[in-house]
Structure formats: structure tokens, C-alpha cells
């Protein structure tokens, strides 16, 4: 028998992706699937494409789920997760929270998410789950704040450079598929509204900006001004972030590729290239983050691509579970 795990919020895009990945994991047993349902029914009736997953999807009863699991994945909306996470933690369960509820200091969370955090004292116990950067902290964690999809694409692209040189300006242009907005009814996400078009949204006010800023500060010890413009493109999944950087000194193409290859030498999910600019289709349904890097003097451009539902959410959550339990990081995940 593997580690008993539960997925709370199993019928959203991220929750469904978690179930897909965990069902292939050799060291895990899924013991509970829950969602907000009018009628409890087997997972393979809700999602017929997963015929092999017949576990009943139930309405959430925290104590009953906790009796069956050791670790719980929370694939719940922001503002909902904070209460559920707290209840599982009080029952001595490990929690990997895929919402934003434990990623930010309470005052910044309130500013961007519009609600006062109910358990600010718990935030300091959460480990930010960017797997490649914080492995040692993740190993000892009981509460993982899984990073957002945009921040994952950006921070993995920035981290090696931020530790080596002074970055003076950071401008980020990101494009995402529709699943990034969640599985919900929204006129702006309808096929007829998005097909054949691209649109910017939440320009320089997106809730992932403070998440990026906080981690850049953690890596550099300095507050950096970040310009971030996200766009919705008419595809179902995937993120492509183009990051423009101005450095305080020149760096050669050969030097920067060597820097990134060395930084990520023990990271099986990072692909580095100076010759090829990656595309979203290169990484779909995998836990890969692919980086294409070009430099000219003091200017650097990095193209970062990942699957928003895998490396940007469910895959990274499973990677963090693998780190906690000492499994191979690649276990259950496609590379």
C-alpha cells in the first residue's frame, strides 16, 4: 500500500489533473476524492475518459476524509482553502494547498484577494512550494503553498540570474490558455468570445504580481519593480512567458547558458536552450518548464513555457509530495 492521499476539489481542472497524475503513481493510494456535488457518484461517471478511476467522488466531510489519508491536496478556490487547510492541519495531516491562501503575507493577501485572512498565524508555517528552489524546506513541511502558474514560469526563468547579477528592470509578457481561469461559467471564457482573438487582462494589477515580487525579494534581498501583463489566448492549456531583463553588466550567451545549466543540473524538469525558443506544445501534459535564453550585452530575453495544469499546478504539487516522502522527483510525472 502506498501513501494514502486525498484530493479535495477533484472535479475542477486542477483537481482532475491531480487525480490523473496520482492514479499512475506507484507509491500512492488515492483514498478520497471530494467535490461540491448535487449527487455523489464515481469519478469515471463524472469524467468518462478516466474509466479506470472508479472511486466515489463525495461531498467533503473533513473528519471522514482525514481518517483515510495522510496527506491532502487542496484544489479549491482562493478564499475557500484557508479554512479547510486549517482543519486538516489541526488533525495532523500534511497539506499541499494549490490555492493562493498561504502564499502571501496577510496584509498583501487582503489587498489582492479582497478578504482578511482568517489564520494569519499559519501563513508563517507554510513553505512556498517552488520545487527546484526550496527542496530542503519542502522536505520538512506540513503545509505547502503551491505556487501559482504564472509565478512558476517566471521565477524558474529568473532565479539563476538573480543570484549572480544585479537585474535593474523586469518586464514580463505572459500568455495563457483558458483553463488558467478555472472550470466555471464566465461569458468572457466562452468559445465565441475568445476564438480568433488575444486579449490582455488585469494589466499590472494581477494577483500573481505580489507573489513574484515576494519571491524576487527573497532571492535578492531587494525590492524590484516588476511590470507584468498577462494575456488570454484561444487554447485550452499552457503558458508562454517572455521575460525582458536589463542587467547592470554585460553577460555573454555562452556564460548565461552555462549559468543556467549549472543551476539546474539536478533538476530533471528544466530544459535549457540558447538555440531554440520553446513552444507550448513542447511541454503539454508534462511537468517540464522549458527555457529559451538570448542575451545581447546587458539585455536578456527569456522565453519560459510550461503546462499551467501540470508544472503550473498539479504536477508541481505531486513533485512536492515526492520531495516530502523521499521519492524520485519524477515518480508519476511525465518528462
In the chain, count of helices (H) and strands (E)? 12, 15
Task: Supply φ then ψ for residue 16, to 5 degrees.
Answer: -60, -40
**CA angle 15–18–22, rounded 5-degree value:** 145
H or E segment and range at residue 246: strand 239-247
Torsion of CA 72, 133, 213, 118, to 10 degrees: 20
H or E segment and range at residue 315: helix 315-325
Torsion of CA 300, 281, 16, 207, to 10 degrees: 30
Q: How far apart are CA 35 and CA 40, in angstroms?
A: 9
Q: How far is CA 291 from CA 51, 155, 249, 309, in A?
A: 35, 11, 22, 18
The residues carrying an active-site annotation are 149
Task: Supply φ then ψ for residue 268, to 5 degrees.
Answer: -65, -15
Q: 109-132 burial by CB neighbour count: b if 16+ within 10 A, else e?
A: beebbeeebeeeebbeebbbbbbb
Are 3 and 28 within 8 A, CB to CB? yes
How does strand 167-176 pair with strand 199-200?
unpaired
Q: How far apart are CA 57 and CA 39, in angstroms?
A: 9
Amino acid at each position: 500500500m502506498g501513501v494514502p492521499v486525498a484530493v479535495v476539489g477533484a472535479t475542477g481542472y486542477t483537481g482532475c489533473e491531480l487525480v490523473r497524475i496520482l492514479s499512475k503513481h506507484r507509491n500512492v493510494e488515492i483514498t478520497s476524492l471530494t467535490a461540491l456535488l448535487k449527487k455523489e457518484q464515481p469519478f469515471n461517471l463524472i469524467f468518462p475518459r478516466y474509466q479506470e478511476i472508479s472511486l466515489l467522488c463525495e461531498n467533503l466531510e473533513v473528519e471522514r476524509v482525514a481518517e483515510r489519508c495522510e496527506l491532502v491536496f487542496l484544489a479549491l478556490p482562493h478564499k475557500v482553502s484557508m479554512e479547510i487547510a486549517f482543519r486538516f492541519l489541526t488533525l495532523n495531516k500534511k497539506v499541499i494547498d494549490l490555492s493562493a491562501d498561504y502564499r502571501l503575507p496577510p496584509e498583501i493577501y487582503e489587498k489582492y484577494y479582497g478578504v482578511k485572512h482568517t489564520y494569519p498565524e499559519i501563513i508563517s508555517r507554510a513553505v512556498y512550494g517552488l520545487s527546484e528552489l526550496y527542496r530542503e524546506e519542502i522536505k520538512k513541511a506540513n503545509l505547502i503553498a503551491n505556487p501559482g502558474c504564472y509565478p512558476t514560469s517566471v521565477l524558474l526563468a529568473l532565479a539563476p540570474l538573480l543570484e549572480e547579477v544585479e537585474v535593474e528592470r523586469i518586464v514580463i509578457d505572459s500568455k495563457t490558455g483558458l483553463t488558467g481561469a478555472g472550470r466555471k461559467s464566465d461569458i468572457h471564457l466562452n468559445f465565441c468570445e475568445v476564438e480568433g482573438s488575444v486579449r490582455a487582462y488585469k494589466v499590472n494589477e494581477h494577483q500573481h504580481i505580489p507573489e513574484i515580487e515576494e519571491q524576487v525579494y527573497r532571492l535578492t534581498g531587494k525590492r524590484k519593480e516588476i511590470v507584468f501583463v498577462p494575456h488570454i489566448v484561444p487554447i485550452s492549456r499552457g503558458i508562454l512567458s517572455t521575460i525582458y531583463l536589463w542587467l547592470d553588466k554585460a553577460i555573454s550567451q555562452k556564460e548565461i547558458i552555462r549559468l543556467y545549466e549549472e543551476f539546474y543540473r539536478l533538476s530533471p524538469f528544466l530544459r535549457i536552450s540558447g538555440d531554440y525558443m520553446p513552444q507550448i506544445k513542447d511541454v503539454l501534459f508534462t511537468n517540464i518548464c522549458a527555457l529559451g535564453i538570448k542575451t545581447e550585452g546587458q539585455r536578456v530575453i527569456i522565453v519560459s513555457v510550461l503546462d499551467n495544469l501540470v508544472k503550473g499546478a498539479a504536477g508541481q504539487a505531486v513533485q512536492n509530495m515526492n520531495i516530502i516522502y523521499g521519492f524520485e522527483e519524477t515518480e508519476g510525472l511525465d518528462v
